[in-house]
Chains A and B, each alone.
Chain A
Amino acid sequence: MTEFEDIVGTEGLAPDEEERLRRVHELLLAAGPPPDLPPELARPADPNAAQPPEVPLLFRRRRAVAAVALIAAAIAVFAGGYAAGHSHSKQEAFVSRRDVSMHGAAGRAAVIHIGKKDAAGNWPMLVDASGLPQQQSRAAYYELWLTKNGKPAVPCGSFRMHGHTTSVRLSVPYSLRGFDGWVVTAQANEETLGPVVLTT
């Protein structure tokens, strides 16, 4: 449907205004849809990353810095283990490297916080979803997907809503390069792909 009359209508439009809106209509058709930004481009890269490296520290000073860093790391590991062992109720803080916004109808939304890939190639993610209806059926759930050409390509994890806002941790082992976005589908079951309820 790309006719001006179908999309905008001419009823009540003054001739000058109709001409102006028709020109915008034609420009929109000529321009085509803006591409969805892939997750990798959700935020700018550090513009200083390509700058020449700073002059290295003197060798002895580097050794001292390394020693301090090792001691600090050992303390952190010990403290982390202690905290994990003594506090099951507090969630470990999630460090996001990149945030991807998703949106849907009627104020439904989500933010995917993507953490740093681990050595094995897993991307940790924290998904904050809000406004999605809670499932009535025990078999129903939401599924997060990476998309290719706008269509669900690989699954990234599933979740159920337990309130207006739900946060879940997921992890994907895929390289995020080569995909063009994310969607969330509402799954009634595992057999058929459900409708898309959130998109990037």
Chain B
Amino acid sequence: MTTDGELIQRAAGGDRSAFELLYQRYARPVFGLALRRLGDRGRAEDAVQETFASIWRSAASYKPERGPGAPWLYAVARNAIVDRARGRTDLPAEIPDEADGEPGPGDRAEQSWVSWRVHRALEELPEREREVISLAYWSGLSQSEVSEFLGIPLGTVKTRTRAALAHLADLLGDELH
């Protein structure tokens, strides 16, 4: 599989197919990051477009010797999203007196990076594995209901779920420690 870094380098040379492949891999993670940061779908959509325009424009600044492509893409996305957030002028009607128990900036950054990596890894799964993960974790269905929904035996659902998790474990590597 072509690495993200190789695709960025090809995009720097004007390769549109490499750019489109990067888009397929990262559109969802970028959109998720923008949604969490901006809290508004319309603004998040614009941020995705701006992020990929930035990737296209600045791909030549990527230096593979400094590390893999994913962190570089994350930095470009974060900058584009922060720029869009700065453009926001509406202030909260009331400023709270006390801390609200929400995670601090450090925790949010960690959370964003984890989501970025996990969502990116999900894009790599075969469709049938991604489907069982999505149904098992986020649809509210039990594994028996997933089995019924997909029309496959319960044992197959469980085997496929384990295979998907093992596949994700390989893809996420360093996040597991």
Which positions in A face B, CB cutoff 8 Å? Answer: 1-2, 6-9, 13, 17, 20-21, 23-25, 27-35, 37-38, 40-41, 43-45, 47-50, 103, 105-106, 177-178, 180
Contacts and interface: CB of A to CB of B under 8 A. Distances in A.
A4 to B, nearest CB: 9
A24 B169 contact: yes
A86 B49 CA distance: 44
Nearest to B55: A47
Most A-side CB within 10 Å, residue of B138, B141, B165: B165
B114 A27 contact: yes
Given A34-B28, A34-B119, A41 B45 contact: yes
Nearest to A31: B118
Contacts of B31: 35, 37, 41
A9 B155 CA distance: 11
B165 A24 contact: yes
A59 B165 CA distance: 63
Contacts of B140: 1
Contact of A7 (B27, B136, B168): B136
B23 interface: yes
Contacts of B16: 47
Contact of B150 (A13, A25, A38, A105): A105
Contact of B137 (A33, A35, A103, A105): A33
Query: For the side of the interface on B, what is the size category?
Result: 35 or more
A177 B43 CA distance: 11
Most A-side CB within 10 Å, residue of B27, B57, B137, B175: B137
A6 B145 CA distance: 12
Q: Across chains A and B, which 3 residue pairs bring their CB atoms closest together, nearest first? A: A47-B56, A31-B118, A33-B138
Contacts of B117: 27, 31
Given A24-B165, A28-B137, A47-B52, A6 B176 contact: no
Most B-side CB within 10 Å, residue of A31, A40, A103: A31
Given A23-B169, A28-B137, A43-B23, 10 more contacts: A1-B141, A7-B136, A7-B137, A35-B32, A44-B52, A47-B55, A105-B149, A177-B42, A178-B41, A180-B41
B166 to A, nearest CB: 7
B79 interface: no
B63 interface: no
Contacts of B48: 41
B149 A34 contact: no
B111 interface: yes
A21 B163 CA distance: 10
Most A-side CB within 10 Å, residue of B42, B127, B168: B168
